[in-house]
Structure 1
Amino acid sequence: MAGIYLHIPFCKQACHYCDFHFSTSLQYKGDMLKALANEIRLQKDYLANETIETIYLGGGTPSLLQGDEVNSLIDIITRHHTVASDAEITIEANPDDLDEQKVKALRQTPVNRFSIGIQSFFDEDLFWMNRAHRSREAESSVKRVQDAGFSNITADLIYGYPLLTDQKWKHNLEQIFKLNIPHISAYSMTVEPKTALASFIKKKLFAPMSESQSADQFLVLLNEMGQQGYEQYEISNFCLPGHYSRHNSNYWKGVKYLGIGPSAHSFNGEARQWNIANNAKYIQALSLNSIPAEREELSEKDRLNEYIMTSLRTIWGLDIQKLESISKYSGEQLLKAAEEFFEKGWINRKEQILTLSAEGKLYADHIASELFF
């Protein structure tokens, strides 16, 4: 079991908060697609004989691709890998790209899941973020995808930024429920270095983010999702029964994956590798049949700490027996380090499984770092 991620590094415009790798120029799209195809071919042995159960087109904005371009990329994958007949194949999309023609074209591809970047249903918020779409397009794009026969849909939302009152946040969630979207990824706004948002805050053009606001709106999120029957299976991911993102779940479970494209990361269980985050250099290297990637061998301690960090974020939790099976460290050592978090009510224990409480999820990164070996 394994997954493949394709990074499509193009966007119409740069969102103020985004630090992902992309270009707003489509001038070299054709060269990039050739390079992606060549990397798929060159990396065909990375996952050995694993069956591919998920394919994820991310970015950037993959919905800028035409239907035949999507077909071509997936066809190359199927030529070089064994892809499961029921593979989950996701494409990230911006609402403004999903007009009738684009949705119809994607219906003629193997794509069976949409990840739609809604972020907010308020135009002033979208303008503040420098998103390319408006609220009316968010709603219409979802309905258009549903009318075309797609039911496996997820939407992205953002909370914890100055313009978003609790009332507006609840309205955004209500709109998601009304649209019958079965999976939601909700993220707290973060200020990443070298982004426009960081620059605006430094220049006092934008107000800074508030940790207390983010925490309060996270708890609102938990309450509203729970009332509507959504399960929080990972800190930022919620779904109705049977609608887990198989691709994202595999990341948290440590399943192998291959990343294709500039800035894409790969993991084979023993090591990580990541491609150069530069379109021109990526295209040039692949034209010479060279993969522009760096590699890091993971030590036992690296793999253990990564398991601690990822497992605690999920509903499945940290399995003490698994921890002992993949390392020389004992569960008793971990439990001793976790004592203060048990006392605070941040970690729950059920037999050999440790999970975070609702309050503990607010401090997930801190807790994990304190438990690292």
Structure 2
Amino acid sequence: MRNLPAHFVALGSWFRERDERRGYAISYKRLALAYLAETVIIVASLCGAWLFAHIYGHNDPSTIGMMMLAPIGYAVIEFCRVPLAVSTRTHRSYIVKTLAVVGVIAAAGVTIKSMSQLGEVMFRPRLVDVVRAHAALAEARDERASLDAKMAAADKIVAEQEDARKGAEKRAMDATAQLSSLPPQKCWVVSGRDRRGNPYRTTKCSTDPRTGTIGQTLKEANANIDEVTAKLDAARTERAKYDRASADRKVIAAEVTHKEAVLNSQLHSFTAMAFAKDPTQVTDAEIHEFLRIFVFVPAIFVSLASTLLALTAVEKTKPKAEPVLLADEAGQYILGPYATEIIREATDAATQAAHEAVEKARHPPLKAVV
């Protein structure tokens, strides 16, 4: 206090005297901290609202401006919370105190709304990473399932072509066996004269009539074998295009990315602890259920911080009695008779004491004779 300028000391003394007359004292340090906390909350809320409007305003100035109007109004309401909290402790009218309490509750509700939005935005990037990683994992699993379906269809076609070739080979083998089981061709010598009378001599053979039919069957079977073999080779080539190992590697990489995103999400970790689950097994419903605790409870605490500082900044004191100033005429009228009586009594007492002293001097007491 000695190092402060005189006018600051005088101002502080005036504030203390004023508070003593009012019957309460205000800790301006706590009140300043309350306003500082409220200012930080308002700035954070406005910054969060601006970022939110910038992200979802599609770079349209009109849209961003409209999205910022309500947060500015909310900021004004939040700034009124500290003086309203002080009024609940200092105002003499119970009606005004009741209205101030209602205002504090309403302003706290606005603060809870603003801070809960900021809390939700705080967790959103990590939740977005988890959602994207989960989508990539689901896509990789779907691709593998689709590949498995294509592989199964290709395997079915290969098996069908293999069965078809086996059937064609069996028919060719049966036809060959039938041909070998037929009786051999019979031949004999034929001689005679032709129409001109010239002699001739030749050999004539007799073939089994089934030979032609069986031979045609064998020819068709061999042609079918060539056709089915070509289809089988094409089916095997198509089947060789599908690589499940690559799909498995892609799924494993997506699972690792998803697990890393979940482990980096604090909300997933706390939700898993709350529900006694693996972080990768928690559902969206459980996440949002636990999000209410992580968002609304801190927002309520934030709304109470500056309010409690403002409430505790006011301390009730005993009002200091102010001196009563009376005019000289009024003082003489009220106190004059008492003063006259006091003076008279004092004069009588002094006169009596003087008289007794004179009497003692005139008539001294007799000494005792021994």
TM-score, structure 1 as length reference: 0.17
Higher helix share: 2
TM-score, structure 2 as length reference: 0.18
Q: Computing the radius of gyration over CA atoms, which structure comes out larger, 1 or 2?
A: 2
Greater RCO, CA 8 A, separation 6+: 2
